[in-house]
Amino acid sequence: MSIPDLPTIPEISSQTKGGIKYHILGTVQQTLAVELQPNQVVYSDAGGMSWMTTSVNMSTKASGGLGGMLKRAVSGASAFIVDFSATGTPGQAAFSTDFPGKVLPIELDAGQSVIMHKHAFLCAEKSVALDVFFTRKLGAGFFGGEGFILQKLTGPGTVFAELDGDAVEYHLKPGEVMKVEPGHVAMFEASVSFDIQMIKGIANILAGGEGVFLATLTGPGRIWLHSMTVSKMAHRLMEYMPAKSG
């Protein structure tokens, strides 16, 4: 069975170093369409796939075996991953963003790692290793915000991330610091130091409107930030929700 023609919507087409061809479709809420040849495999968290052709095979398995599954389950990340491979003939699998935003491909060399929010991970080539990331600083683990789980992806290979709104990238110099509202942190290179700190000043905490904690990212290395956060969008929408009747 041949791969159907792609929709006539704006797209970016390219190919990973591993030889997998992909298309990033759309503008406001993008979709990643991956073309798989026999023996080519990509994987995502369980529930990450949007659609696929009949020649693509799904294989669900525990992430990192029993030990990895338990570690991911305790952390709040998905305990299972799904492999997508073409069986005999070429196929296509598509992964859509959950929120209006951008799909960003990141090429990782052997041993190179990137740390990302669990909701930022879309899919990756099978050669990329996936693990839960535990920061050494206790505060970052407890006060990163609800659902603030970090994952570590290590090359070689390409990983695809989804960023809410626009993807804003900074390259921090050694010792350079960026303080960020935690919900805007999408991902950062492993060379970047990450911590969560309480905002200073009673007035800032009570009336600043920025929450109680800020993420601190210290260079060297690249960081990627969401321009939009789901929590802020939900807060704005609450203004238009009907009040509950007593």
pLDDT digits (tens, 9 = 90+) for 62-120: 765 555 555 555 555 566 899 999 988 999 999 999 888 999 999 999 999 999 988 89
Exposure string (b/e) for 108-135, b if CB count within 10 Å is 16 or more?
beeebbbbbbbbbbbbbbbbbbbbbbee
pLDDT at 238 over 50: yes
Share of the chain above pLDDT 70, in %: 73
pLDDT for 244 equals 66
**What local confidence, expressed as pLDDT, does residue 9 receive?**
64
Extract the tokens encoding 71.
Answer: 């570690």
Residue 145 predicted with pLDDT over 70: no
Locus of tokens 């990509």: 42
Confidence band, pLDDT 50/70/90 cuts, at residue 19: very high
Looking at the predicted structure, is the pLDDT value of residue 125 above 90?
Answer: yes
Greatest mean pLDDT among 10-14, 38-42, 180-184, 205-209 lies in 38-42
Round to whole Å and give the CA distance between 200 and 40.
50
Going by C-alpha positions, the residue among 85, 41, 63, 75 that lies closest to residue 153 is: 63
Structure tokens at 228: 């939009």
Mean pLDDT of 15-19: 93
Q: What is the pLDDT of residue 147?
A: 43
Residue at 60: amino acid letter: T
> What pLDDT, on a 0 to 100 scale, did the predictor assign at position 121?
93
| pLDDT at 210 > cutoff 90 | no
Length of the chain: 246
Mean pLDDT of the chain: 82
Mean pLDDT, residues 4-33: 86
> Mean of the pLDDT values across residues 179-206?
78
Order of strands across the sheet that contains 21-25: 11-15, 21-25, 31-36, 91-96, 51-52
The residue among 162, 158, 121, 114 whose CA lies nearest residue 20 is: 158
pLDDT tens readout for residues 20-33: 999 999 988 899 99
Check whether the bond before 220 is cis (ω within 30° of 0): yes
Is 218 within 8 Å of 192 (Cβ atoms)?
A: yes
CA nearest to 94, candidates 7, 182, 188:
7
- Average of per-residue pLDDT across 125-144: 69
What percentage of the chain exceeds 90 in pLDDT? 51
CA torsion angle 169 226 69 33 (round to 10): -80
Strand pairing report for 11-15 and 21-25: antiparallel
Average pLDDT over residues 36-45: 94
Minimum mean pLDDT among 19-23, 111-115, 142-146, 152-156: which range?
142-146
Choice between 182 and 240, residue whose per-residue pLDDT is larger: 182
CATH of domain 11-238: 3.60.160.10
Nearest Cα residue to 108 out of 119, 124, 120, 93: 124
Q: What is the pLDDT of residue 213?
A: 77
d(CA 116, CA 231) in angstroms, rounded, equals: 18
